[in-house]
Amino acid sequence: MKKICSLILLSAFILAGCQTKIPKEALELSPQSLEMRQLQTRYFDTADEQTLLVSSAGLLQDLGFNIDESETELGFILGTKDRDAKNAGQIVGAIFLAALTGAYMPTDDHQKMKACVVTHPAGENNERIAARVTFQRIVWNTQGQISTRECITEPEIYQEFFSKLSKAVFLEANEI
C-alpha cells in the first residue's frame, strides 16, 4: 500500500511539472530565413504600391482565395480557402491496414489554406516595390482532428505564384 501511494505521489509530481513549453528557436531567425525571404519575394519596377496590391488581390481571387483581411496603408492582404485534402495513397494505405489488422486509421479529409501578400517600397529611392507572399495550411483528418499544421515551402509553388502575379499586373494594367 505504501509503495503504491508513494508511486501515485511521484507521478503527481511529474504530471504537475509537465507543461508544453514554447520551443527555443520559435522566435529566432533561422539560418534558412534569408533563403526563404528570397524565395517568397519579387521586386516590381513600379513605384505604385496600390496597383500592385490590387493586382495581388485579383490574383488571389484567380487562385480561388477569399480575401479575409487587408490594410492597404501597410500593404497587406490575407486570403484563405477551404479545400479537400483527401490523398489517394493515404486512403489506399488505410484500407490495406484495415483489411490486414482491422485497425481503423484516420486519413486527411479537408484543409484550410492561407495566403498572405505583403508589399513594401524598396530600392534607394523607393523606386521599386517588393511583394512577399507566404502560404500556410491546416489539415483535418476524417475524425476532425488536426493532422498537419505547416508553412508551405516548395519553391515551385512560389515560382508559379509570381509568374501568375506578373501576368496579373499586366492584365490589370491593360484593364483585362
Partner 1 sequence: MKISKYSFFCLAVALALLVSGCATTQERLLDSDGSQVQIRSIQTRAFDTTDREKTLRTVMATLQDLGFVIDQADNLLGTVTATKLNKYALRITVSIRPRGETQTLVRANCQYEDKPVYDPEPYQQFFASLEKAMFLSALQVD
Task: Rule CB under 8 A: say whether 31 interacts with partner 1.
Answer: no
Q: φ, ψ for residue 75 (rounded to 5)?
A: 70, 60
Give the whole-angstrom CA distance, residue 119 versus residue 33.
Answer: 18
- Are 131 and 117 in contact, with CB atoms under 8 Å apart? yes
176 binds partner 1 (CB under 8 A): no
- Applying CB under 8 A, among 31, 45, 74, 175 the residue interacting with partner 1 is 74
**Contact set for partner 1, span 92-151 (CB under 8 A):** 114, 116, 118, 120, 132, 134-138, 149-151
CB of 50 vs partner 1, minimal distance in Å? 14
Closest C-alpha to 151, from 139, 169, 163: 139
- Residue (of 121, 120, 157, 167) closest to 136 by Cα position: 157
Q: Which is nearer to partner 1, 95 or 151 (CB)?
A: 151
Torsion sign over Cα 129, 120, 132, 66: negative
Examine residue 56 and tell whether it contacts partner 1 (CB under 8 A). no
Tell me the chain's radius of gyration from C-alpha atoms.
Answer: 23
Size of the site for partner 1 (CB under 8 A): 47
Q: Considering the rule CB under 8 A, would residue 2 count as an interface residue with partner 1?
A: yes
Residues making contact with partner 1 (CB under 8 A):
1-2, 4-6, 8-9, 11-13, 15-16, 19-24, 26-30, 33, 36-37, 40, 69, 71, 73-76, 78, 114, 116, 118, 120, 132, 134-138, 149-151
